[in-house]
Amino acid sequence: MNFKKSFMVLLALFLTVSHFSFIGTVSADESEDTPEERPMGSSFYEAFDGHDQERWSMAGVWTNGDMFNTTWYPEQVTFEDGYMLLTLDHDEEASETGIPYKSGELRTNDFYHYGLYEVSMKPVKSEGTVSSFFTYTGEWDWDNDPWDEIDIEFLGKDTTRIQFNYFTDGVGGNEYYHDLGFDASESFNTYAFDWREDAITWYVNGEAVHTATENIPQTPQKIMMNLWPGVGVDDWTGAFDDEDIPLVAEYDWVRFTPLSELDEEPVTDPVEEDENDEDPVIDEDLAEEIDQDEGESPVTNLDDDEEQDEDEVVATTSDDDEDQSGSGEANATNEEGERLPDTATNMYTMLLIGLSLLIAGASYFVMVYRRQSMH
């Protein structure tokens, strides 16, 4: 009688192990089938009192290539006295990278959609440079994303003007230049764009100055700021002369307000000029202006000491932006040598454990049965 009871207990244990192994396999399969959700950000005001790593990532070490004659380095993004600074300087590693300059780019970790994007900034005044505030996404920031982008840019050759532009699925050519009536490099001013499904309106110190309504981008994007010298685009940016570097673009604050929290006619608040603003700099001759398609390009990683998969290389992100590494454990394989999915490996492991228990128990009860028979 005791033998039968013990056998039934062992059988129940085996069935229980098999049951939970099956449930775990099904649950894991369902989890794998669920696509990763795009991280979407909410409204925020960034005063740049320091580096908020939950919100912002510093680009680097890589280069966008093409017209970007610089390598992004995290150390070229700094925070001082309530300002975020992007510094353009000579790159000591130029002999290895083949790119003579280094600079900084700051980008959000999350994506943002329709709403009001604002920045208070002072661009660099130096021919051949671009100081920017923009939103961007592409296939290297999120799988299968189109190249969508909305720009606020200052060409260092003439900082009394501002350039607006946008790209939809890689199609640009929407440049618009606005005369500011002041030199943007001499004081902090508020620049913004209101992005809606059917229109983009750009603002300067709370005043709407330009609206676009054709082929508007629809994809959520990351918020970015960068400073870079151009190469091969002298007709657009002017020729870069590095005699006055290091150069610094200054950012006072950034704010995002989603469409659901906006009034019908959004108005940005102008920012008063800083009493400690630098003295005006004499304007340089204005070079010929041309339309130029621009934006983030796929990046090339320059760190030879670390290997990265293509999907880990971002323009921005990155993705980007968070490094992922394997567990280092050996991968299970089937008879053909192909790697088994983790769920299958876990199921086989549990079944083996259950089978081992059953065999051990059966052997034990056979031994007990023989002893009882002898008596």
Asked if 169 and 263 count as a contact pair (C-beta separation under 8 A), the reply is no
pLDDT of residue 32: 54
Q: Each residue of 287-312: pLDDT tens digit?
A: 344 344 444 444 445 444 444 443 43
Which residues participate in catalysis according to the annotation? Answer: 149, 153
13: number of Cβ within 10 Å: 14
Q: Which residues of 228-254 are buried (b: 16+ CB within 10 A; e: fewer)?
A: bbbbebeebbbebebeebebbbbbbbb
Asked if 246 and 136 count as a contact pair (C-beta separation under 8 A), the reply is no
| Domain layout of the chain by residue ranges | 2-34+341-374, 44-312
Residue 219 gets which letter from DSSP? S
Q: Each residue of 41-79: pLDDT tens digit?
A: 999 999 999 999 999 999 999 999 889 999 999 999 999
pLDDT of residue 332: 35
Class of domain 44-312: mainly beta
| Contacts by residues 200-203 (CB-CB < 8 Å, ≥ 24 positions apart) | 200/150, 200/166, 202/152, 202/164, 202/176, 202/178, 203/118, 203/267, 203/268
Q: Each residue of 120-153: pLDDT tens digit?
A: 999 999 999 999 999 999 998 998 999 999 999 9
Question: Can you list the residues of the chain whose pLDDT is less than 70?
Answer: 1-33, 264-358, 360-375
Cis ω on the peptide bond leading into residue 246 (within 30° of 0)? yes
Distances (CA, A) of 37 to 30, 49, 247, 285: 15, 30, 39, 49
Q: Which of 26, 2, 6 is nearest to 350 (CA)?
A: 26
